[in-house]
């Protein structure tokens, strides 16, 4: 999807999730406003609706949010560095 065209992003997200069999979506609260649109598209297209969980944004020691587009550490990296499942859940407010 082209990131400069929001419509294609939203359509791609719901179609990709359905195609991949995604049953649970966990994402930051900054994406909360997109969820009703995604649910509407899923309903209109007859696609399954996953369960959604929006967590507080995870930030680094400097207060910057961790994001893929900023090359933030991945979950696998956190695990390799010794982060426990409980520690990761705590990072997202669970």
Domains of the chain by start residue, with CATH: 1-55 (3.40.50.620), 58-94 (no CATH)
- pLDDT score of 23: 96
Compare 72 and 53 and report the one with higher pLDDT. 53
Give Cα separations from 68 to 1, 74, 75 (angstroms).
16, 8, 11
Structure confidence at residue 51 (pLDDT): 96
Residue 81 buriedness (CB in 10 A; 0-12 / 13-18 / 19+): exposed
Phi and psi at 27, nearest 5°, equal -150, 170
pLDDT at 1: 46
Helix, strand, coil shares of the chain, percent, nearest 5, are: 50, 15, 35
Q: Is the pLDDT of residue 2 over 60?
A: no
Q: Which range scores top for mean pLDDT: 17-21, 69-73, 79-83?
A: 17-21
């Amino acid at each position: 999807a082209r990131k400069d065209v929001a419509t294609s992003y939203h359509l791609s997200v719901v179609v990709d999730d359905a195609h991949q069999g995604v049953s649970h979506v966990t994402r930051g609260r900054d994406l909360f406003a997109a969820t009703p649109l995604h649910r509407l598209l899923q309903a209109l297209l007859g696609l399954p609706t996953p369960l959604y969980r929006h967590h507080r944004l995870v930030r680094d020691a400097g207060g910057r949010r961790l994001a893929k587009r900023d090359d933030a550490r991945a979950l696998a990296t956190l695990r390799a560095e010794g982060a426990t499942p409980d520690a990761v859940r705590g990072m997202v407010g669970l």
